[in-house]
Amino acid sequence: MAESILVHLIEQNKIVGIETDSAATHTDELGNPPHRGTRAKLGAVGIPLVPHRARLMSAADGDNFDLLIGMDGENVRDMRRIVGRKNEGKVKMLLDFTPHPRAVADPWYTGDFEATYSDILKGCEALLRSLGYRDIK
C-alpha cells in the first residue's frame, strides 16, 4: 500500500528523481501480490496499484537506496539487521516523519485498511515534505 500511495503522490505532484521499491523482511508473502484489502482500499480512493510481487529485502538495498522506510519497530529492526551497520542509519519508520511518530496500523492483524491507509498517506506526505517538497497535495 505504501509504495502505491507514495508513487501516486510523486506523480500527482510532478516530482522527479525519486525511485521507489518495496521489499519484505520475511519470506511469508514472497511472490504474492498486495492483499485484496489493500487493492480494494486503493481502488476506492482512486490510487492505482503499483504492479508488485513481494520480494525479499537484501543487504544490497542498503547500498542502492538513500532511505529505507519501515512500518513498525519489528520491521525496522529486521531491516537494520539485513542492511548491516554500514547502512542502518538509512532505516527510518514512516510515521517518524510526522508530528506523531508511531507504528503504522497493520491491517493483517487489525483488518482496518482505512486506518492503515490514513497512517500511510500522512506518513508519505510528511516524508515528501521532509525531502523539501512543501506543497504536497
- Give the separation between CA 26 and CA 18, rounded to whole angstroms: 25
Q: How high is the mean pLDDT of the chain?
A: 95
Per-residue pLDDT at 133 exceeds 90: yes
17 backbone φψ class: left, alpha, beta (φ>0; ψ -120 to 50): left
- How far is the C-alpha of 79 from the C-alpha of 104, rounded, in Å? 16
pLDDT digits (tens, 9 = 90+) for 58-88: 999 999 999 999 999 999 999 999 999 999 9
- Please tell me the distance from the alpha carbon of residue 82 to that of residue 25, in angstroms, as a whole number: 8
In single-letter form, the type of residue at position 53 comes to: R
Q: What is the pTM of this model?
A: 0.94
The domain limits of the chain are: 2-130
Fold of domain 2-130: Rossmann fold (3.40.50)
